[in-house]
Amino acid sequence: MKIHAPLSRQTENGLRWVTAQVRTIADEVGLALDCEPEWDREDQLKFKLAVTIGGQSKILKLWVPNIDDSQGGDNPATREVQQKLRNQIREFVQLFAPPKGRVGF
């Protein structure tokens, strides 16, 4: 993590949770991370996560409130935020997948 400003425990836990989800989803789709994902703060409301897979680097931008809300305990609102983040992460990781072969024109 390249973040130099102090973070709340909830934000730190949220960043760790997102990083773990990136690893898990990449594994699920058969992709391997080239290196540890790196966090940086874009501004007060957004974090950037740099991920490299197969020599390609891409940036995922996430809202701080969503990261924080992903760590709200075991309740329906937290689970909903986590599911939305997982879907966003899954779409992001799919960007690294090789193109599927096309049949026909």
pLDDT tens, residue by residue, 58-80: 999 999 999 999 998 888 999 99
Query: Radius of gyration (Cα) for the chain, nearest Å?
Result: 15
Q: Name 25's Cβ contacts closer than 8 Å, sequence gap at least 6.
A: 86, 89, 90, 93
Reply yes or no on whether the pLDDT at 102 is more than 90: no
pLDDT tens, residue by residue, 3-16: 667 889 999 999 99
Please give the model's pTM, rounded to 2 decimal places: 0.88
Q: Are 52 and 35 in contact (CB under 8 A)?
A: yes
